[in-house]
């Protein structure tokens, strides 16, 4: 277990370096390491730790999955569109497995957890549900949703994006307790968007 903890810390540092320190492209500015770590990765890892204790998940499998699940937002990316980033994250994860000699017995469990973060995935295993939930919930409890407005500049398109994300991410949450935590934020977002559109029709 201690060996896996050490590997996780090395992998986390590897992913930190993968994400750029800055970006001159507004549409991918959210991939800056000093934004995505405090506003997505770190809250997600804390949620994973909490849920693994509550639901008896495998903490190290879930934490390694969490730190690798969005690597494809940078690795192998060739356009502003993040489409396909989960598959690129899996490609990156396979390289990391080899580099840090992650036990082969957990490779497919980690890959399954990364796949579980896809919008229309239907996770069956506990660890997959934990990682999927942490990915979605982290965006409700941090400034993630609101900070993305700074990368938009177009309030109408941002409101469309925000409504879709609030609805879809809420539906990705697999546990009742975590849904209860996200619900007031989701309801506020949807209510605020409705008010915005009533006074600023798209």
In a domain, 173, yes or no: no
In a domain, 77, yes or no: yes
In a domain, 188, yes or no: no
In a domain, 175, yes or no: no
98: domain CATH number is: 1.10.3210
| Mean confidence (pLDDT) of the chain | 91
C-alpha 78 chain-centroid distance = 20
pLDDT digits (tens, 9 = 90+) for 48-72: 999 999 999 999 999 999 999 999 9
In a domain, 111, yes or no: yes
In a domain, 79, yes or no: yes
Domain count, the chain: 1
- Summarize the confidence of residues 84-112 as an average pLDDT: 95
- Summarize the confidence of residues 139-159 as an average pLDDT: 81
| pTM above threshold 0.85 | yes
Q: Which pLDDT band holds residue 202 (cuts at 50, 70, 90)?
A: low
In a domain, 193, yes or no: no
């Amino acid at each position: 277990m201690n060996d896996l903890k050490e590997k996780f810390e090395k992998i986390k540092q590897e992913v930190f370096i993968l994400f750029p320190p800055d970006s001159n492209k507004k549409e991918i500015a959210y991939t800056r390491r000093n934004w995505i770590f405090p506003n997505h990765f770190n809250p997600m890892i804390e949620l994973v730790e909490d849920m693994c204790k509550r639901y008896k998940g495998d903490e190290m499998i879930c934490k390694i999955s969490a730190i690798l699940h969005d690597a494809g937002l940078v690795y192998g990316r060739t356009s502003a569109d993040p489409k396909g980033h989960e598959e690129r994250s899996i490609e990156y994860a396979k390289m990391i497995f080899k580099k840090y000699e992650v036990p082969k017995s957990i490779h497919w469990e980690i890959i399954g957890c990364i796949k579980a973060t896809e919008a229309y995935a239907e996770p069956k295993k506990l660890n997959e549900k934990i990682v999927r939930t942490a990915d979605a919930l982290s965006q409700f409890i941090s400034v993630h949703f609101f900070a993305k407005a700074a990368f938009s500049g177009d309030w109408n398109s941002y409101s469309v994006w925000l409504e879709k994300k609030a609805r879809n991410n809420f539906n990705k949450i697999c546990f009742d307790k975590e849904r209860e935590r996200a619900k007031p934020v989701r309801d506020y977002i949807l209510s605020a968007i409705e008010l915005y559109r009533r006074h600023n029709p798209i």
